[in-house]
Amino acid sequence: MYIQPVSSCTNLVLHGWLKERLSAIVAALPVHVAPIDVAATRAAWESWQEGLTKRFTLPDELPPLRVLLVWDNLAGHKNAEMVLWLCRHGIMPLYTPLAGSWLNMAESIQRILKRRALDGQYPHSAAEIGDWFKQTAQAWNQHPTPFLWNGKRRQRRRKQLGDKHPIGGSAAHTQHPIFTRPRRRRKWHVPCQVTH
């Protein structure tokens, strides 16, 4: 998980950071050494567009498909320059459906991180909040929580011992419950001893 605290996040800031992170991720993948079969490459890209209600036009020249990027269905994420950059680097953007925020596991992860980073804390600046989020993400990366996909309907039909644990509003689930730090209770009384 990668976090970059910022004071404001325009598309210019987000896309610049995202290009940097995605370039590093693609560079760390195994190198494709086999000759490129143009027809097979295009078929791989097109297979990920099957069933979509809105497709973007794929460029004529496509590299091998290396990464699937799932992100929000916002107008700024469909910027032609950004989409072409993604395609040139072998990254296929897939957008969550409108009114389908429950599909977005990032919302669940954000909710968990916010709770872990801020509960019981009293920040004095935005920079301090950003530092806490970065530290929390680093701790998460050391011991990540695996998410499993599981629909809400299935959970309503089936509530038995051994079922998975839902994560904050999305359809993601974990094998084990995620425990948050217990909040410290304030003691409103002072114990006293009675002497005779």
Helix axes 126-142, 105-118, angle to 10 degrees: 110
CA 20, 26, 29, 33 dihedral sign is: negative
Mean pLDDT of 126-152: 81
- Is pLDDT at 187 greater than 90 in this prediction? no
Question: In the predicted model, is pLDDT for residue 172 greater than 70?
Answer: no
Which residue did the predictor score with more confidence, 61 or 151?
A: 61
* pLDDT, mean of residues 84-107: 80
The yes-or-no verdict on residue 169 having pLDDT over 60 is no
Q: Mind listing the pLDDT tens digit for each residue in 75-86? A: 888 889 999 999
Cα 49 to its chain centre, rounded Å, is 21
CA-to-CA distance for 84 and 90, rounded, in angstroms?
10
